Amino acid sequence: MNMKQWLLPNLFASTCLFSITCSAGPIENYSPVTADRLKNPEPGNWMLYRRTYDGQGYSPLDQINTSNVKNMTPVWTFSTGVNEGHEAPPIVNNGVMFITTPMGQVIALNAKTGDEYWRYKRQLPDDLFQLHPTNRGVGLWQDKLYLATTDDHVVALDAKTGKVLWDTKVQDYKKGQYLTLMPLVVDGKVIVGGSGGEFGVRGYVVAFDADTGKELWRTFTIPGPGEPGHETWSGDDWKSGGGSAWMTGNYDPETRTVYWGVGNAAPWPGDTHPGDNLYTTSVLALDPDTGKIKTYFQYHQNDSWDWDEVDAPMLVDLQRDGRTFKSLIHPGRNAIFWVLERKPDKINYVAGWPFVYTDVWKGIEPETGRPIVDPAHKPVIGKRVEFCPSLWGGKDWPSAAYSQNTRLVYVPANENFCGGFTGEKTPLVPGQLWLGTKPEDIGLKVRPGATHFGELQAWDPATGKKVWSYNFPKSHLFGSVTVTAGDLVLVGGTNDRMFRAFHAKTGELLWEQKTNSGIMGMPVAYEVDGTQYIAVQSGWGVDGQRIQDALATQNNIGVENNVPQGGVVWVFAVKK
Amino acid sequence: MSSPSDKTRRTIILTALATAVHASAPRSAAAEDDPPGSDLRPQKADLLVYAEGDHAGEVIKPQDLKPGGPPVRAWPKDPKTSVVRKGSRLNEVVIVKLDPAELDDDTRPRSADGIVAYSAICSHAGCPITAWGKAAQGEKEVLKCVCHNSEFDPRRSAQVVFGPAPRRLAALPLATADGSLTIAGTFVGKVGAQQGG
């Protein structure tokens, strides 16, 4: 073989190695995604983060149900080839599935057979520092996909081929700015919010033109001088006050309002940033055309616990106290289950109650919905303060779900965890962690006498009563919940690598399957050619792993840190 | 089987492709403002300066380091141009003074009076190695990444003793000259995080 002959095949191999897409075949007959299809998705598809704009995580499919789920079995699996937390829902559009993984991969698969169409690999910079190496999915519009990356870009791909159509830098990853969320697409606008609450950023939500990648508007979650709410900050604290917005928002098409959750104040100890600190730990109501803040509700003031409230509230038409109203429902990281009323220009407090043990709140002011804090459990500079629940809260970012059948809310809660740290003043160095405590000082302690940790809860938002719960004696619960019209509550999230289906009305465990790794991903239900499937990614990492490490090394409760990593897509169906 | 010249050619092609990818990446404003040499990896005969604290920028002397730790974060400094090589975070190292008798046979030749240096970039997700504490599974103190709890034993080539990191930290050989700590060679091992996929 001469040099020329040798070089050609090697060049081809190298091109495949270094280019960002290796095609196994373009997708034919791809169904363009329109505004109407996103507003009223076909029952067999899952095209938004929680399937529908209301964020309920409810599938109307019922072919797989409480009577036949015992016969549910894997039909195909697919290894993603990467480690760390696989948190994305498999997105499905008329038989085509899009998977995203840590390290910025997008994989297009035949949703029926598991055959690969193409794979995109983001070429991340060598000096990137990934505190949260994960991704939560691609947004869809027409024949394009939108990926938000940990090196702080939004990338548009051709859905049929995986080719890059545009690539827009959002901010500078070297300053601790990054993205992990699935973009929300509303009428041709691709909306994302930045991560970086542990790096002293000033959070924002930003919209890009879906066709060109041009920035249309950017709304900071911390108001600048002269803007309403700026008075809730002292001095220059607002410039580095956190308020990251790292989860996908929900959307009310009737009022054209996007509801977006906002994260913790920075640094953590509250006395380093005195004031209410708007709009940290809040939900913002935004106009998708302009980014204008229509109104807001703050779940707690002067955040001191790293209790991001980034998980957007669910939009539910609720019957309660003898009336029907348009509600926002949010089981908070701050341990309070919130029922709010959404109006075009105002969000009113309706009810709130603790859904796990907390020693931080003494009550809620009934007129305003402001929680009343016990100062003994509020972290400050210079002394160690303990608080319950832990900094991962009663429910962290993994999503709850609402069933239109049972009218119950299903919450992946964590009970009996407390935390603590010693606040300290440290200078902000852009791009470096800025917590207001030593990271190694952060504790996770199990309450004495605890019988369990993870708790899958079913709440009736109309009455505030817990209808059932399923307890996990040896594991936390760190995975999103999905519910179907077949009355199945689907969830992974435990350290025994199980994927489970529960009876939505009773909480009875109906089915379980041990998988390759722990499941942090969101389960979905979809249908192709008349067959219903259930899909989920199994791949443990990030905070599921962090809590596991803390249970194993700081608490003598017989838990080991031996959950294996490595991502696999699992797809199930009922044997016919 | 390919001949040596084939291998050389392939290396050139791969390097060229890799360079093309690198060149298309956006350069930050900081990188453009940095003086020449500041993003070069640590070079033989470089000095080491404190990366943080009241003495940031000052040359580290062996006697400054407390035996048994905690480690100090440091940047290399070109002694001829006085350029501190902080143009890339991949140049940052952690330095810790240990009992020379505790060092294994691979680590000892790279140490100077028991002082060892490693890349401060975790091999898992690229976080900085900032903590020093008792190992999760053992009694000795180890280097810790606070992002995802990986631990590295500095006495044994910074091999992974806990957590998700896939491989050891790159080691930086040290020497002492004229009372100062100097770098005796380039990094041994790969600097930076794994890239999955």
CATH of the domain at B138: 2.102.10.10
Q: Which residue of B has its CA nearest to A102?
A: B196
Closest approach of A439 to chain B, Cα-based (Å): 6
Asked if residue B160 belongs to a domain, the reply is yes
Could B21 and A123 be called an inter-chain contact, meaning their C-beta atoms sit closer than 8 Å?
Answer: yes
* Beta-carbon contacts of residue B188 (< 8 Å; ≥ 6 apart): B110, B170, B171, B172, B173
Biggest alpha carbon distance in chain B? 57
Asked if residue B13 belongs to a domain, the reply is no
pLDDT per residue over A149-176, tens digit each? 999 999 999 999 999 999 999 999 999 9
Q: What is the ipTM score, two decimals?
A: 0.86
Over 90: is that where the pLDDT of A14 sits? Answer: no
Residues of B in contact with A3 (CB under 8 A): 5-6, 9
Asked if residue A214 belongs to a domain, the reply is yes
Asked if residue A313 belongs to a domain, the reply is yes
pLDDT per residue over B12-55, tens digit each? 333 333 333 333 333 344 445 688 999 999 999 999 999 999 99
Strands A58-59 and A482-484: parallel
Residues of A in contact with B125 (CB under 8 A): 84, 129-131, 133
Write the DSSP symbol of residue A265: B
B interface test, pick of A123, A127, A168 with most B CB neighbours within 10 Å: A127
Asked if residue A393 belongs to a domain, the reply is yes
Closest approach of B69 to chain A, Cα-based (Å): 16
pLDDT per residue over A408-424, tens digit each? 999 999 999 999 999 99
Could B148 and A438 be called an inter-chain contact, meaning their C-beta atoms sit closer than 8 Å?
Answer: no
Task: Report the number of distinct structural domains present in chain B.
Answer: 1
Asked if residue A14 belongs to a domain, the reply is no
Asked if residue A2 belongs to a domain, the reply is no
Owning domain of residue A257: 35-425+435-574
Task: Report the number of distinct structural domains present in chain A.
Answer: 1
Report how far apart, in Å, the C-alpha atoms of A75 and of each of A366, A377, A466, A533 are: 51, 50, 35, 9
**Other C-beta atoms within 10 Å of A65: how many?**
19
Asked if residue B2 belongs to a domain, the reply is no
Average pLDDT on B76-95 reads 96
CA distance A395 to B106: 47
Write out A512-548 in H/E/C secondary structure: EEECCCCCCCCCEEEEECCEEEEEEEECCCHHHHHHH
The CATH number linked to A133 is: 2.140.10.10
Region for A256 from its dihedrals, namely left if φ exceeds 0, alpha if ψ lies in -120 to 50, beta otherwise: left
Please report the pLDDT score of residue A311 as a whole number: 98
CA distance A90 to A113: 14
pLDDT per residue over B134-167, tens digit each? 998 888 999 999 999 999 999 999 999 999 999 9
Over 70: is that where the pLDDT of A576 sits? Answer: yes
CA distance B137 to A295: 50
Asked if residue A141 belongs to a domain, the reply is yes
Closest approach of A124 to chain B, Cα-based (Å): 8
Asked if residue A25 belongs to a domain, the reply is no
Over 90: is that where the pLDDT of A355 sits? Answer: yes
Q: Quick check: B99 contacting A, CB < 8 Å?
A: no
First to last CA, chain A: 54
Asked if residue A4 belongs to a domain, the reply is no
Owning domain of residue B160: 37-183
Asked if residue B66 belongs to a domain, the reply is yes
Residues of A in contact with B18 (CB under 8 A): 18
Q: Which of B10, B127, B197 sits opposite A129 (nearest CB)?
A: B127
Nearest to A567 by CA among A542, A545, A541, A539: A539
Over 80: is that where the pLDDT of B88 sits? Answer: yes
The H or E element that residue A35 is part of is: helix A35-39
Closest approach of A296 to chain B, Cα-based (Å): 32
- Read off the pLDDT band of B180 (50, 70, 90): confident
Residues of A in contact with B26 (CB under 8 A): 169
Could B164 and A130 be called an inter-chain contact, meaning their C-beta atoms sit closer than 8 Å?
Answer: no
Average pLDDT on A502-523 reads 98
Which residue among A306, A311, A396, A487 is the active-site one? Answer: A306
Could A541 and B2 be called an inter-chain contact, meaning their C-beta atoms sit closer than 8 Å?
Answer: no
Could A18 and B21 be called an inter-chain contact, meaning their C-beta atoms sit closer than 8 Å?
Answer: yes
pTM (two decimals): 0.91
Asked if residue B178 belongs to a domain, the reply is yes
Q: Has A306 been annotated as catalytic? A: yes
